[in-house]
Amino acid sequence: MRTVKLEHNDDTVLDPTDPQLVMRGSLLLDGHECGGREQRRDGTWIARLSASGETIVAASRNQLIERLTLVTL
């Protein structure tokens, strides 16, 4: 099973023109940085994979982690 780690970056990386953005950070799969992730004010979590350009949207943090364990690199 793939290990997923959602890193929290410094709040200075938040985009002030996007008021819906709560948190942004790096996405690590099996210890390798593979993209970024965001938490939105409406409760959704978004992961953007850098290699494939794929965007994964989930209703919760746990759901996002579950879906990321199935991603092929």
Q: What is the per-residue pLDDT across 47-64, written as a single tens digit (0 to 9) for each? A: 999 989 999 999 999 999
**pLDDT for the residue 15:** 76
The whole-angstrom separation of Cα 25 and Cα 3 is 16
The whole-angstrom separation of Cα 73 and Cα 28 is 12
Helices (H) and strands (E) in the chain, counts: 1, 5
Q: What is the per-residue pLDDT across 7-63, written as a single tens digit (0 to 9) for each? A: 987 666 677 788 888 888 999 999 999 999 999 999 999 999 998 999 999 999 999
Determine the average pLDDT of the residues in 66-73. Answer: 90
C-beta of residue 48 within 8 angstroms of C-beta of residue 31: no
**Beta carbons within 8 Å of 42's beta carbon, 6+ residues apart:** 20
